Amino acid sequence: MRTEQIDPRYADLDSWSAAEMIAAMYEGQLAAAGAVRGALGPITKAVEDAVPALRRGGRIVYVGAGTSARIGVQDGSELLPTYDWPADRVVFVIAGGLDALVRSIEGAEDNEAAGTEAITNAKIGADDVVIGIAASGTTPFTIAALRGAHAAGAVTIAVANNADAPIFAAARHPILVETGSEAVAGSTRMNAGTAQKIVLNLFSTAVMVKMGRVYRGLMVDMRARNAKLRRRAVDIVRQIVGCAEGDATRHLEQADGDLKTAILLGFGLSRGGATELLKRHGGNLRAAIDEFKRGNR
């Protein structure tokens, strides 16, 4: 596995100055980001398969061990505050459990039975989207979990950094990002981890946009749970409606903080009318606004 090999370029890393070391590692990070370009097609196919399943009420499930698990948890946990994605529709299947996020659980990643059991316990079904992440692509826990999810009919996605990794055979959508050797051999939190995070960023953001949770580049499903987000919510309503700040604040209050409803109130709909219009379009604000504007030409 290339991710475990020593890169000759970094053989004398420990003898370099800090400046030399940082510059070389920085270049490695840029190369890792560039390597994602070759995976854009597979990422696109995974998104196109995932969205219909999620529209039927499915969940996004992240599976991994060690660094890969932590990267998955970071991606999934950010869907809640950014897009108001329901907490019960994000599942984390982690080798060794949640404790493994902050300390090493020896042998957990080698436990195939635990991976299979976790998928069974999560009651994975055909509407779920299961993402297995493993830099090596050989992690027994993650492969077993993906196999179980695949057998249950779920949309399965494998993200790995070594060609011909066995994890790819366990998933419907293999996403390979060949990042090669690391500055520190086997330390896949570096190049491989950077590439994995980019893949997940692209995938989850595209999914949320396709699910109608973004309008004109704005987070229209965000919930304003602190002062910063309340200011952002007011600004979003103001920008889309073209109203004064005070009016935007009033619309949000009338909508009980629901951004999409507040925006439609700003266009002149009643609370009931806004709710019905959004329901008719599955919560898609662009479609709701387009229908409203067609009816008011």
Residues annotated catalytic, as ranges: 78, 109
DSSP collapsed to 3 states, the chain? CHHHCECHHHCCHHHCCHHHHHHHHHHHHHHHHHHHHHHHHHHHHHHHHHHHHHHCCCCEEEEECHHHHHHHHHHHHCHHHHHCCCHHHEEEEECCCHHHHCCCCCCHHHCHHHHHHHHHHCCCCCCCEEEEECCCCCCHHHHHHHHHHHHCCCEEEEEECCCCCHHHHHCCEEEECCCCCECCCCCCCCHHHHHHHHHHHHHHHHHHHHCCCCECCECCCCCCCCHHHHHHHHHHHHHHHCCCHHHHHHHHHHCCCCHHHHHHHHCCCCHHHHHHHHHHCCCCHHHHHHHHHHHCC
Which amino acid belongs to residue 143? I
Provide the residue count of the chain: 297
Which amino acid belongs to residue 227? A
* Pairwise CA distance, residues 124 & 118, whole Å: 9
Which amino acid belongs to residue 95? A
